[in-house]
Structure 1
Amino acid sequence: MSDPIRTKAHVLHSLRALLHDEDFTELVTPVARRADLGPGRRASAGLHEGRFLRAMIGPALRVNVSTTRPKVYEIGPCFRPEPPDALHAAEFTMLDLYAAGLGFEDLIDLAWRLVGPHLPSYAPEQLSIADHVRDAFGIDLRTEPIGDLHPRMAARIGADPGEPFRDVLGRYIALELEAGTTGRAVFLTDYPTGGDEPCARLAPGTTAVLERFELIVDGIELVHGYTDETDQKAFIDRAKAVSLYDDEQQLALDAVEAGAVPADTAGLGIGIERLCAASAGRREITPFLQSPQF
């Protein structure tokens, strides 16, 4: 393998160059945040008035979208309190972006144009989770509610039926869909409602399908993206139902309500070290974490 730090530098330069050409504005938002998102979601920092290290960039980035900055992005550090492993680190790098008026298919196209040049041996595919659910369980989420999908999905993977649907859905997708992406680059789309991205927009004309995607490359998530729900009540209700409504999301919604931020936005995030690992044919991010001795 070539020098991993040079590989990372090349990836970052490529991402910035494309976004510059697409008229995105690069921003820097606070790493240390006021909001405590609850147990296990953020690492605390011993700073003035108490702060928590961000686990994701998105909310503070979204409030910077405006008529003069309709497309923004940031590349910066994020932190997780859980123990590290081959694909997770206590400190890692994310690219997050937000854009006003960007449609869902255009968002998928942008995602591949960003990461595709670093994955030359892969051709992108799309797999609809809603179609899979229809074929596997006979429930058409485009026209029907979730119904009894929760206990049936739990039974399929041997999960406790009392486990929250959000967790059952995540495990089911990992076992039944992500595991089948060996040697492939697959955009998983049409996620059911009730998962861990409640801010995603309900797909027009559907009952329980979200405009959300994840790009899975050789079994590993590299990119996630979604269009934002423009119905604030629907967003709040869905987020509260899965215990993912927090102060930072409220700040973003307040900005939308005040007319400072457009409601029709879309965002995506890319794990930089994971992209570097995939481009080098590796299944661990450790070589791409700089200066670990500190």
Structure 2
Amino acid sequence: MKHPFLYKSELIWKVREFLHQKEFIEMATPIIRQNDCDQFFRRLQLKDNRYLRDSAAYGLRYNLGIADKIFEIAPCFRSDTPDNTHLCEFLMLDLYARNHCMADVIKLAQDILQLFYEGPIGYLSFAEFVRDQYGIDFFDDPNAEVEFSTYLQENYGYNHPSFLKRLDQFIIDHVEPMSKDCCLIVVDFPLVAEFRSMRRKETAGVADRFEFQINGIEVFHGYADETDLGLLGERAKKQGQFGPEEQIMIQLLSEGKVPVQSAGFGFGIERLCQVCTQEKDIRIFTTSKEFV
């Protein structure tokens, strides 16, 4: 393989070229934010009490009022402990498209992936998997979220008070292993997996959300945005994720300053490099260790 930095540079160039050909416009959004996230996902705080962003999503989505198809590749920051698949500072691609549905952005994400990834691609419906394995039906049962949360606590000992955290652990333990030696496109998540995502029509609690998982590593994450602002706010409050930026975005949406109907996704550049080269340690795609 080429030097990891050269591979990463060429990957970024090819992604930009591909998106420009699809008439996406690249825009820069602020890295420093005035607000923290919610109680479960905290941002890194600066000495002046401002914060480093964990995602460009809201800042980028705001610009859908300027252009219909936009993206950004820029640094993001997380409080995760660095390990073989996690970085505190990394490059993230965030992308939004106005009047797109989930199928549109899944196709776009798959096209980007296949610029670099040559392995097999499979599909999994999370809701069908849970229904077939555990008899809990997110398609038709409005109580499925409570039932599955209780099941995870009683049978796996996932005792975190947040169902989202229980669900994350279940995905790590029981879904991500199914992506060994392939890219697994997972769809039909419960709504709690992404409160911003649209509830699929004619279902009780299935979200228009997807993940691409490769060898047990989540690479792409995307969804179609919820268009019912009342439901969006209720869901965020119920999950303890109604932070300052959610309040601002809902206000902008209600005032028509941001288009309501859109879809998008994000992925970490270094993580995509890692899975496409089958490297064991993501840190080889960052700056020299002497500086971090």
- TM-score with structure 1 length normalisation? 0.93
C-alpha separation in 1, matches of 2:232 and 2:218: 24
- Matching residue of 2:238: 241
Paired residues for 1:111-122 under 5 Å: 111-120=109-118, 122=119
Q: Aligned-pair distance for 1:261?
A: 1.5
- Matching residue of 1:155: 154
Amino acid at match of 1:37: C
Other structure's SS at 1:201 match = coil
- Matching residue of 1:136: 133
- Superimposed CA distance per residue, residues 227-267 of structure 1 (whole angstroms, 9 cap, x where no aligned partner): 00001111111111111121112222222211122100112
Other structure's SS at 2:192 match = coil
CA contact (8 A) 2:233 2:250 kept: no
Q: Aligned-pair distance for 1:101?
A: 0.9
Identity %: 33
Consecutive unaligned residues of structure 1, counting only runs of 5 or more, are none
CA contact (8 A) 1:88 1:285 kept: yes
The answer as to 2:8 corresponding to 1:11 is no
The answer as to 2:210 corresponding to 1:209 is no
Say how many residue pairs are matched: 288
- Superimposed CA distance per residue, residues 48-78 of structure 1 (whole angstroms, 9 cap, x where no aligned partner): xx31000111011111102x40111100001
Q: Aligned-pair distance for 1:172?
A: 1.0
Other structure's SS at 2:290 match = coil
CA contact (8 A) 1:232 1:253 kept: yes
C-alpha separation in 1, matches of 2:290 and 2:280: 22
Amino acid at match of 1:12: I
Amino acid at match of 1:74: E
C-alpha separation in 1, matches of 2:96 and 2:30: 16
For the aligned residue pairs, the C-alpha RMSD in angstroms reads: 1.5
CA contact (8 A) 1:274 1:284 kept: no
CA contact (8 A) 1:33 1:51 kept: yes
- Matching residue of 2:20: 20
C-alpha separation in 2, matches of 1:103 and 1:193: 16
CA contact (8 A) 2:38 2:242 kept: no
C-alpha separation in 1, matches of 2:80 and 2:180: 26
Other structure's SS at 1:275 match = helix
Other structure's SS at 1:225 match = strand
- Matching residue of 1:180: 178
- Matching residue of 1:2: 2
* Structure with the bigger percentage of helix: 2
C-alpha separation in 2, matches of 1:150 and 1:163: 10
